[in-house]
Structure 1
Amino acid sequence: MKAKLYLEKISKVFTDGDHEVTVLDELSLKVNEGEFVAVVGPSGSGKSTFLSISGALLSPSKGRMFINGKDLSKESDDKLNEIRLKNIGFVFQSSNLIPYLTVLDQLILISVLAGKDKQEAEVKANKLLDRLGLSHRVHHYPETLSGGERQRVAIARAWMNDPEILLADEPTASLDAERGREVVQMLSDEVKLRGKAAVMVTHDQRVLDLCDRVLYMEDGKLVENKR
């Protein structure tokens, strides 16, 4: 089975004054087509750094990252920007919505930036928003939405460019149990239906059974979950 995402012996070292702090230590991970992986672990264990490197937002100190077999360590900054826009969908703990754009325009903008047709983008955006129970909010602005609604908009936005990989950082943090489970189920269904790959960092034990694998961040590496 083809790996959509492959991290090969990734290390990340930060300098703190005269000391070096190793956050990731030769971490390796393969996420295959149609696979939904959860990563758990205590605060400060390196989960956010791991996710940032997986999304090509942060360069590793050592090791290589591949998307669909392509080695990103050889790509220019401009090319990495294009890869992030077209091949990676992000859902952050904070929804990061643009305050002066309506819900619908939040999604359309992502596709327009990727050079796609605006009318086609609008049709797709409306379908995604309807699926996430937001069809009645398409013309609203972020300040008028609840925290859960803002997060659902962010999840719909992440799927707009049909990315190969979706990376989610605590996507259920602002959702109640029922809605959080619905959202994670939707992510899982989309991954399998479309042959994508997803990695979710979470503390939400209620949704782990919806994932194909659960890994634990320990000493800068990923190991099988010790629940």
Structure 2
Amino acid sequence: MKQSKLMLDQVSKEFGDGDTSVKVLDCISLDIKSGEFVAVVGPSGSGKSTFLSIAGALLSPTQGRIWMGDHEVTKLSAKKMNQLRLSHIGFVFQSSNLIPYLTVRDQLLLIAKLAGQQGQEPKQRADHLLERLGLSHRKNHYPESLSGGERQRVAIARAWMNDPELILADEPTASLDSERGRTVVQMLADEVKLRQKAAVMVTHDKRMLDLCDRIVYIEDGKLSEQPQPILL
């Protein structure tokens, strides 16, 4: 039986107080196993970004429980939650969010440094990831000299730097054309399968849904499984 990488149990999120409060997520439950690549789709304002922030331990739920592997996230202190993010989660954002004054290689090494890793091993891992993603020849370049597809590949390498169990991707193809976008999502899907990790991708891009194992749909803060690709 495959291990759960991310489990949400009756998770709700409200913003505001009293009569002015707004429920953005309403009793969401979801179990994502090792080796699964899950797409989350839905209209604007449906709660997708809030869902991803809660799944990534960037926001705390108003109610409900969350597990990452054997860790119950909702019981952790702020310090331990930060450590969990560094060691268990990799983020890929809509824009690559690279630091302009760091080279490609240093973007990755910064993640290792934040996690307290030192010595040659992080450098070797960074070089290995860049080679796998076809970026070895760009490792000493700065973000401004990279194409959009190259920047997103660097973002993926950075997300994998600490060998996380879970990747969370927020509209990773939004700034890319169809071919580059598909290449980026295929890389995520391949890594999930190869290393039995898990990934969740929030997307509006229906052209990428066939690369995912499951599609879940959020509307008005409620989640449902969708047996067929959704036309957005």
Q: Do the aligned partners of 2:89 and 2:165 also contact (CA within 8 Å) in 1?
A: yes
SS in 2 for 1:217: strand
The aligned residue for residue 168 of structure 1 is 169
- 1:103-122 to structure 2, matched below 5 A, reads 103-122=104-123
SS in 2 for 1:96: coil
C-alpha RMSD over aligned residues? 1.5
Matched, 1:39 2:40: yes
The percent of aligned pairs where both chains have the same amino acid is 69
- 1:128-207 to structure 2, matched below 5 A, reads 128-207=129-208
TM-score (norm 2): 0.93
Give the AA of the match of 1:133: G
Moved over 3 A (4+): none
Q: Do the aligned partners of 1:28 and 1:221 also contact (CA within 8 Å) in 2?
A: no
Q: In the TM superposition, what is the alpha-carbon distance from 1:19 to its structure 2 partner?
A: 1.4
Give the AA of the match of 1:98: I
Higher alpha-carbon deviation: 118-127 or 3-12: 118-127
Q: Do the aligned partners of 2:94 and 2:170 also contact (CA within 8 Å) in 1?
A: yes
SS in 2 for 1:104: helix
SS in 2 for 1:116: coil
Higher alpha-carbon deviation: 15-24 or 100-109: 15-24
| Cα distance in 2, alignment partners of residues 47 and 103 from structure 1 | 30
| Cα distance in 2, alignment partners of residues 220 and 165 from structure 1 | 23
Q: Do the aligned partners of 1:112 and 1:118 also contact (CA within 8 Å) in 2?
A: no
Q: In the TM superposition, what is the alpha-carbon distance from 1:17 to its structure 2 partner?
A: 8.9
SS in 2 for 1:120: helix
Q: 1:16 to 1:132 in 2, by over 3 A?
A: farther
Q: In the TM superposition, what is the alpha-carbon distance from 1:16 to its structure 2 partner?
A: 7.5
Aligned residues: 227
- 1:81-92 to structure 2, matched below 5 A, reads 81-92=82-93
TM-score (norm 1): 0.95
Q: In the TM superposition, what is the alpha-carbon distance from 1:150 to its structure 2 partner?
A: 1.6
SS in 2 for 1:99: coil
| Cα distance in 1, alignment partners of residues 79 and 188 from structure 2 | 29
Cα distance per residue 1:33-61 (max 9 Å; x no partner): 11110001111110000000000000000
Q: Do the aligned partners of 2:152 and 2:184 also contact (CA within 8 Å) in 1?
A: no
Q: In the TM superposition, what is the alpha-carbon distance from 1:109 to its structure 2 partner?
A: 1.2
- 1:33-72 to structure 2, matched below 5 A, reads 33-72=34-73
| Cα distance in 2, alignment partners of residues 119 and 105 from structure 1 | 14
The aligned residue for residue 27 of structure 1 is 28
| Cα distance in 1, alignment partners of residues 80 and 71 from structure 2 | 12
| Cα distance in 2, alignment partners of residues 45 and 118 from structure 1 | 44
The aligned residue for residue 219 of structure 1 is 220
Cα distance per residue 1:180-207 (max 9 Å; x no partner): 2122111111111111111000111111
In structure 1, the gaps of 5 or more residues are: none
| Cα distance in 2, alignment partners of residues 11 and 199 from structure 1 | 18
